[in-house]
């Protein structure tokens, strides 16, 4: 009997262990799936937290390390991405994408040889992968293996004769070989294939400026590049240089001002603006700019010498002497410097010091047997910089961060920003379901979502107001303030921790206290923020069981169904890439997509039925109509939203896109223009990309 009992205990223990293992497997799969959802929605910090959980449970799996490396590379943690990709490869050496991610991580760390090794290995697994070929060619160019780079580009073009990136890469290779004529031909070919490629326009402008001195043509290219990429300060610095060369001082000054508004730390912008202020007689403003440069680069000789001259010209002799002291400490045989410092001391009444400086200058003149100063420290700086650059080029060493005195060629020449290789390492992110390129699909502005974290439009300062949200906040029914935001917003680690803590809190509360609809809504919003749409839908359903007339619960469920639709859509794109049996998968995903979008529309109709002037429900319904392909329905929804809130820029933008898609150019342009006026910046980009004048 005792033997039978022991046997039964062992059987039960084995069954329980198997059941526990199965649950752990299911839970791991679920956490992995939610982590991939977060990765797709570019919430990289959140995705890392989920992958960490999977790694702790099953450290032998390659997949979580791989996806964590993808998240890290998007956060520009290149060392972390390289380490995780290595861990993934150690566990499964046949994950092709892991070599691509590690190669990109190494390339961004300027470990070009290591990147070449990864891309080469990736090509043994996938011989016609265009991303591997492109990135490998760029790295080969960087290390001076020009013939191999040429062969890689040739192979890429044999697979894809219309690759604008390949022609741009060839242009960079031409410049490495100092063939500017061929470079311009390849840039022109790249722009024929992709005329809105800002990188190609900037590259051509730089060639025209540096090698051809055709400043007018360079300016035209830079104008177009700035329309496409209006947020890069370096483009404005370079355009200011071109304007200066064309005697447009006012335009140059405006560009320096704007560059500094974009990047207050730009050494080139402050230095150039200082020179320009000095040239037009605004000495004190010039002093301020050179002081900013020196605060960042204490030993910047050019800024120091210019400021010393300006201090002297404005009668600030003590400060001038202090700057000359530092100049002469670096260049003790600079006779003109002693003369200038002597004159400043004389102005201060320091006759002895003045005479000493004059005597020192005269001694240098006598030793050189000349009466005119031939010592040009600025030229020394420039010559030394050129020599260092040539040595680095011959050794194929990486270019260090440039300082102003390393790229200036003479004392009063303006600086330009050296642009990097425009061909950046590319990761074909199959998790997002598309390859990034210069002609990306134009997307509508996103839906408005319930959230605990706000991010207002910085241009127009508007905050989304929804009556039901305000009521919940006024009654203090939630532990934190509820808000309405346009689209997903990546959470910080602290915000992620608070969301999980909130879920745990409501788990305990709902398990022990009488449930309230608002508690389910609160937990559902937290589930939405951590990219778990199924859990959010379940909580919205529970809230509606208790309070079926709650517009907030219907709005939450619409948000959750929309997130689930986006997850399914992402999965469909990934499956289309990863599987050969695409027909069945496509039909399944299309059916699921339709069901989720119909659920979104149904839930928003319930919100509108109970709150007819809910502008954000009307706007969101317009977005859902676009996704369903119902363009006239979308316009009707946006019209209704704009009747209630005429300054809703997102509605103008989306309606403009719909009008353009329907062929109504005039109305589309008018809406996009209005949206831009209301602070929706992509409007101008769309107008430019579509060549709308």
Q: Report the chain (693 residues): mean pLDDT per 10 consecutive residues.
A: 36 36 58 86 86 91 94 88 95 94 93 95 93 94 94 94 93 92 94 89 92 93 90 91 93 94 91 92 95 90 89 94 90 83 93 91 79 52 53 55 32 55 61 34 86 67 82 87 87 86 92 92 93 94 95 96 87 45 49 83 96 95 93 95 94 93 88 85 74 46
d(CA 487, CA 451): 10
Q: What is the dihedral of CA 378, 383, 387, 390, to 10 degrees?
A: 100
Backbone conformation region of residue 419, classed left if phi is above 0, alpha if psi is from -120 to 50, else beta: beta
In a domain, 429, yes or no: no
| Domain end point (choices 38, 70, 101) | 101
In a domain, 300, yes or no: no
pLDDT of residue 396: 54
pLDDT of residue 317: 95
CATH number at residue 627: 1.25.40.10
In a domain, 80, yes or no: yes
Q: Closest Cα to residue 331, out of 295, 369, 302?
A: 302
pLDDT of residue 63: 94
Give the other-Cβ count within 10 Å of 314's Cβ. Answer: 14
d(CA 113, CA 137): 12
Q: Closest Cα to residue 166, out of 150, 148, 142, 184?
A: 150
Query: Could you tell me the two tokens for 649?
Result: 């820029």
3-state secondary structure of 443: coil
pLDDT of residue 414: 60
d(CA 70, CA 82): 10
- What is the domain extent for residue 59? 2-101
Sign of torsion over alpha carbons 672, 677, 679, 684: positive
In a domain, 470, yes or no: yes
| Domain end point (choices 49, 82, 101) | 101
In a domain, 634, yes or no: yes
Q: Total structural domains in the chain? A: 2
Q: What is the dihedral of CA 221, 227, 228, 232, to 10 degrees?
A: 90
In a domain, 604, yes or no: yes
In a domain, 431, yes or no: no
d(CA 192, CA 265): 36
Q: What is the distance, to the nearest Å, from the Cα of residue 3 to the centroid of all Cα atoms in its chain? A: 68
At a CB cut-off of 8 Å and minimum separation 6, what does 682 contact? Answer: 442, 445, 653
Give the other-Cβ count within 10 Å of 58's Cβ. Answer: 14
Query: Could you tell me the two tokens for 65?
Result: 């390390």
pLDDT of residue 412: 38
In a domain, 292, yes or no: no
| Domain end point (choices 101, 136, 167) | 101
């Amino acid at each position: 009997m005792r033997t039978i009992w022991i046997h039964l205990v062992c059987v039960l223990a084995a069954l329980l262990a198997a059941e526990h293992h199965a649950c752990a497997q299911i839970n791991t799969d679920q956490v992995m799936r939610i982590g991939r959802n977060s990765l797709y929605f570019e919430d990289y910090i959140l995705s890392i937290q989920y992958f960490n959980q999977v790694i702790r449970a099953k450290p032998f799996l390659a997949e979580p390390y791989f996806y964590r490396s993808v998240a890290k590379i998007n956060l520009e943690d290149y060392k972390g991405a390289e380490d995780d990709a290595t861990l993934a490869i150690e566990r499964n050496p046949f994950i092709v994408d892991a070599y691509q991610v590690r190669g990109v991580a190494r390339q961004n760390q300027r470990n070009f040889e290591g990147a070449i090794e990864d891309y080469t290995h990736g090509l043994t697994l996938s011989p016609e992968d265009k991303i591997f070929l492109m990135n490998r060619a760029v790295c080969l160019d960087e290390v001076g293996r020009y013939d191999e780079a040429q062969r890689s580009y040739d192979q890429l073009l044999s697979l894809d004769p219309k690759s604008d990136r390949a022609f741009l890469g060839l242009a960079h290779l031409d410049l490495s070989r100092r063939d500017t004529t061929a470079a311009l031909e390849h840039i022109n070919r790249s722009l024929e294939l992709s005329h809105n490629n800002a990188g190609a326009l900037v590259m051509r402008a730089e060639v025209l400026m540096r090698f051809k001195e055709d400043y007018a043509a360079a300016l035209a290219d830079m104008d177009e590049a700035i329309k496409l990429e209006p947020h890069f300060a370096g483009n404005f610095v370079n355009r200011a240089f071109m304007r200066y060369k064309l005697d447009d001082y006012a335009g140059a000054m405006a560009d320096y001002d704007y560059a500094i508004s974009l990047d207050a730390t730009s050494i080139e912008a402050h230095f150039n603006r200082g020179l320009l202020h000095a040239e037009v007689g605004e000495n004190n403003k010039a002093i301020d700019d050179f002081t900013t440069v020196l605060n960042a680069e204490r030993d910047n000789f050019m800024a120091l010498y210019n400021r010393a001259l300006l201090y002297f010209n404005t009668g600030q002799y003590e400060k001038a002497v202090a700057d000359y002291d530092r100049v002469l400490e670096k260049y003790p045989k600079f006779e003109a410097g002693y003369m200038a410092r002597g004159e400043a001391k004389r102005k201060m009444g320091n006759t002895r010091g003045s005479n000493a400086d004059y005597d020192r200058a005269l001694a240098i003149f006598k030793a050189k047997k000349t009466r005119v100063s031939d010592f040009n420290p600025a030229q020394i700086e420039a010559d030394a910089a050129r020599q260092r650059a040539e040595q680095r080029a011959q050794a194929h060493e990486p270019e260090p961060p440039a300082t102003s005195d390393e790229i200036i060629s003479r004392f009063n020449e303006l600086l330009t920003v050296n642009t990097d290789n425009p061909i950046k390492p590319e990761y074909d992110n199959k998790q997002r379901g598309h390859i990034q390129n210069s002609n990306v699909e134009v997307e509508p502005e996103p839906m408005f979502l319930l959230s605990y974290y706000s991010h207002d439009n910085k241009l127009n300062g508007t905050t989304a107001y929804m009556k039901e949200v305000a009521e919940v906040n006024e009654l203090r029914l939630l532990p934190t303030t509820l808000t309405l935001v346009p689209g997903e917003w990546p959470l910080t680690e602290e915000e992620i921790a608070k969301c999980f803590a909130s879920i745990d809190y409501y788990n305990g509360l709902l398990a022990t206290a009488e449930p309230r609809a608002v508690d389910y809504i609160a937990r559902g919003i937290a589930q939405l923020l951590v990219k778990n749409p199924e859990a959010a839908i379940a909580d919205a359903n529970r809230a509606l069981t208790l309070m079926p007339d709650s517009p907030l619960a219907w709005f939450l469920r619409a948000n959750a169904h929309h997130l689930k639709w986006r997850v399914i859509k992402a999965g469909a794109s990934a499956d289309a890439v990863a599987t050969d049996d695409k027909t069945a998968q496509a039909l399944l995903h299309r059916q699921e997509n339709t069901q989720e979008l119909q659920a979104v529309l149904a839930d928003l109709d319930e919100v509108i039925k109970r709150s007819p002037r809910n502008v954000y429900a009307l706007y969101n319904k317009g977005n859902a109509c676009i996704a369903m392909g119902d363009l006239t329905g979308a316009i009707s929804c946006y019209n209704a939203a704009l009747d209630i809130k005429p300054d809703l820029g997102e509605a103008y933008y989306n309606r403009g896109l719909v009008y353009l898609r329907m062929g109504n150019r005039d109305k589309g342009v008018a809406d996009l223009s209005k949206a831009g006026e209301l602070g929706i910046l992509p409007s101008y980009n769309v107008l430019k990309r579509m060549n709308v004048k």
